[in-house]
Structure 1
Amino acid sequence: MNTGHTKTWFVTGASRGFGDVWTRAALRRGERVVATARDVSALKPLADEFGDAVLPLALDVTDREAAFAAVARGAAHFGGIDVAVNNAGYGLFGMVEEVTEAQARAQLETNLFGALWVTQAVLPGMRERGRGHILQVSSIGGVAAFPTLGLYHASKWGLEAFSEALAQEVASAGIRVTIIEPGPYGTDWSGSSAVHAEPEPAYEHVREARRAAAAGRVPIDPAVTADAVLAVVDAERPPLRLFLGGYCLPIAERVYAERLATWREWRSLSESAG
């Protein structure tokens, strides 16, 4: 239960997936949301259900000026932004060799730079009020990388990097940063919103192995994440990172163990470099 003041959220990609789930969760407990999506008509169900508590705005997060304008409009309408959720994003599927320049740039423009622009836009108001919480929606793919998703991982690793630095930069201003790292949920990031590179036959065996590894895995309903996200928003000292789902931690433990083992194995060569 939220025991603090009524918060105003700014959510990108609010029309579906996590964005829709968390927007509705905030609104149902009496908070206010600036809900954004590229197609503002997709936000009509939210407006119809929650009325004046939601401000639906069209926003393409790759447009820096538009991001600043949307934040300014939302802040003016509700009197400031308390929680910013950088959720807008999609999956780019393709081997590193396969993705085109346009596909690679578009992936980074949305998943990395889109989050950066919104973050930059909300920070001055948060600093002025001495409080705020920025939720960066990453992924287990922001911690570990898998074949066929190299540029998606690049976008999420970049998001995690600047967000970790940001958390240290703004802590003294009363602003908190949490990197949300979900496992496999049924959010459509790999469905209709995804982009697929033209396949190179030489990599078909890699694709087959990935399909086999994912066979039988049932995506989790994203609705089950609502309470966890509300709890982290309400926390007095929220974590810098939060996995969603039980799928992630074993992968992270394996990945970090492998990294440490490699660094230690090659430590003598490393130290020989001075």
Structure 2
Amino acid sequence: MRTSAGSTDRVWFITGASRGLGRAFADAALTAGDRIAVAARTTGPLEELAAAHPGRVLPLGMDVTDRDAVFAAVAEAVGHFGRLDIVVNNAGMLSMGMVEEFTEAEARAQMDINFFGALWVAQSVMPTLREQGSGHIVQISSIGALGGFPSTGLYSASKFALEGLSEALAREAAGFGVKVSIVQPGGYWTDLYTAMRSASAVEAYAPLRAELEKQFAEGAVDSDPKLAAEALLKLVDSEEPPLRLLLGSMVYDLAFDIARERMDTWAAWEHVSRAAEQAIPAPEFTGEEAGGNHRHETR
């Protein structure tokens, strides 16, 4: 593992860098002696960061939901610095509400930012990283990707999708020397909750919502974003970074609890699972059924 003191002047590309975890990541990269391209829809804080670190910060105005804008911003960063070493997909948004309560527009907005935005960034940086034969893409996921929880169903869905994409990307990129890591943070004192969007409440869920508010008030743990940034530096300094990294004791314990519960359920239903599989010869199709190639089906 290489410490930040041994930095080799890496180049970072960080989305959602104007505030919260993204800003903490940017500050940590600069402290490590690296250079950064920082992207966000609000560029004021980025301009201030660039003024405080002449020649080391490239501020970029970018909306991650705009694919063309993402590709243009990445091209500008590569043109400016000549390469990319660490890409942090941090931009995200939290939408709260029961699954039934979301409109189509609200559901699509959640996926556009948390999933498609990260997809556009990954697609735009991969040609450069492949050509370099090196690089590290860090996907900032969430505790919400460990399982689905009441009132955060759409948020969890967007992070589940991000993690499925990232697992595939890790395997696709490995042959080119490009690494991918999924970071699952717990609570941090950012504006994620103050800037969150809420679906229109359905009265039937009032008792559940009240219980959730009580649980959150009694059990929430939020930390300084600098701790997440310190963990991120350890991750990108590692010569063999993990595919997944949990941030926080609460997330760590919850991950194991959920995994054990799933394994217990799978074991209890093992007889049903195994009985649902028995190899047979490929069926013969005639007429309209033979219109296409028969394929083994896995859902």
Q: TM-score, normalised by structure 1?
A: 0.97
Query: Paired residue for 1:166?
Result: 169
Work out whether 1:186 is the aligned partner of 2:167: no
Equivalence map 1:47-126=2 (5 Å): 47-126=50-129
CA contact 2:7–2:33 (8 Å) conserved in 1: no
Work out whether 1:5 is the aligned partner of 2:22: no
1:158 deviation in Å?
0.5
The C-alpha deviation readout for 1:174-200, integer Å capped at 9, x for no partner, is: 111110100111121111x21100000
Separation of aligned partners in 1, 2:206 and 2:170: 41
Query: Paired residue for 2:261?
Result: 258
Percentage of identical aligned residues: 48
1:54 deviation in Å?
0.3
Separation of aligned partners in 2, 1:271 and 1:226: 45
Query: Paired residue for 2:217?
Result: 215
The C-alpha deviation readout for 1:64-111, integer Å capped at 9, x for no partner, is: 111011000000100111110000001000000001100100000000
1:4 deviation in Å?
4.8
Residue identity opposite 1:150 in structure 2: G
CA RMSD, 1 decimal: 1.1
Separation of aligned partners in 2, 1:133 and 1:5: 14
12, 16, 19: which one aligns with 1:16? 19
Residue identity opposite 1:224 in structure 2: L
Work out whether 1:135 is the aligned partner of 2:138: yes
CA contact 1:90–1:190 (8 Å) conserved in 2: no
Give the 3-state SS of the residue equivalent to 2:222 in structure 1.
Answer: coil
Equivalence map 1:27-46=2 (5 Å): 27-46=30-49
What residue ranges of structure 2 are gaps of 5+ in the alignment? 278-299
> Which of the two has higher C-alpha Rg?
2
Residue identity opposite 2:231 in structure 1: A
Work out whether 1:242 is the aligned partner of 2:264: no
175, 199, 214: which one aligns with 1:197? 199
Residue identity opposite 1:7 in structure 2: R
CA contact 2:8–2:34 (8 Å) conserved in 1: no
The C-alpha deviation readout for 1:157-178, integer Å capped at 9, x for no partner, is: 0001110111111112111111
CA contact 1:91–1:189 (8 Å) conserved in 2: yes
Give the 3-state SS of the residue equivalent to 2:16 in structure 1.
Answer: coil
Query: Paired residue for 1:231?
Result: 234
1:267 deviation in Å?
1.7
What residue ranges of structure 1 are gaps of 5+ in the alignment? none
Q: TM-score, normalised by structure 2?
A: 0.89
Separation of aligned partners in 2, 1:170 and 1:44: 33
CA contact 2:50–2:59 (8 Å) conserved in 1: yes
1:20 deviation in Å?
0.1
Separation of aligned partners in 2, 1:271 and 1:188: 47
Separation of aligned partners in 2, 1:28 and 1:58: 23
CA contact 1:144–1:251 (8 Å) conserved in 2: no
Separation of aligned partners in 1, 2:8 and 2:224: 30
Separation of aligned partners in 2, 1:177 and 1:210: 34
CA contact 2:184–2:245 (8 Å) conserved in 1: yes
Give the 3-state SS of the residue equivalent to 1:189 in structure 2.
Answer: coil
Count of residues paired in the alignment: 273
Query: Paired residue for 2:294?
Result: none
Superposition misfits of 4+ residues, deviation over 3 angstroms:
none
